[in-house]
């Protein structure tokens, strides 16, 4: 499988900005709120989950961890966490 289902939880005062930003990614994103937390379920190409510490010359090379670090450093995200969603299927005999 080339895409991993991922659930992000964000604490931010800039929910509209986060929704707009992540909606620009080449993937399907679903957003919902629980209490004061913003959640996003995404199907992310494994390539975009990689870590990248160098400067980016091409916007197409942006990786999600780098975007999240930048948003946290700038104070846009107060807190963030991620969970990889597992799917299990069992056939009863």
Residue 35 CB neighbour total at 10 angstroms? 4
| CATH numbers and ranges of domains, the chain | 3-84 (3.30.70)
Residue 75's CB is within 10 A of a number of other CB atoms, namely 10
pLDDT at 33: 96
Whether this prediction's pTM lies above 0.75 is answered by no
Residue 24 backbone class (left: φ over 0; alpha: ψ -120 to 50; beta: rest)? alpha
> How far apart, in whole angstroms, are the C-alpha atoms of residue 21 and residue 83?
20
| Alpha carbon distance 36, 15 (integer Å) | 10
CB contact at 8 A, 11 and 90: no
Q: What is the pLDDT of residues 15-65, one digit of tens each?
A: 999 999 998 887 788 999 999 999 999 887 766 655 444 444 444 455 778
pLDDT at position 53? 45
Predicted local confidence at residue 50, as pLDDT? 55
């Amino acid at each position: 499988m080339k895409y991993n289902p991922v659930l992000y939880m964000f604490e931010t005062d800039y929910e509209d900005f986060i929704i707009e930003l992540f909606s620009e990614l080449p993937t399907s994103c679903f957003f919902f709120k629980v209490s004061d937390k913003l959640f996003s379920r995404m199907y992310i190409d494994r390539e975009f989950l990689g870590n990248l510490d160098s400067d980016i010359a091409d916007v197409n090379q942006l990786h999600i961890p780098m975007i999240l670090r930048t948003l946290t450093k700038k104070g846009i995200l107060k807190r963030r966490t991620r969970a990889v969603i597992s799917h299990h299927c069992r056939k009863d005999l």
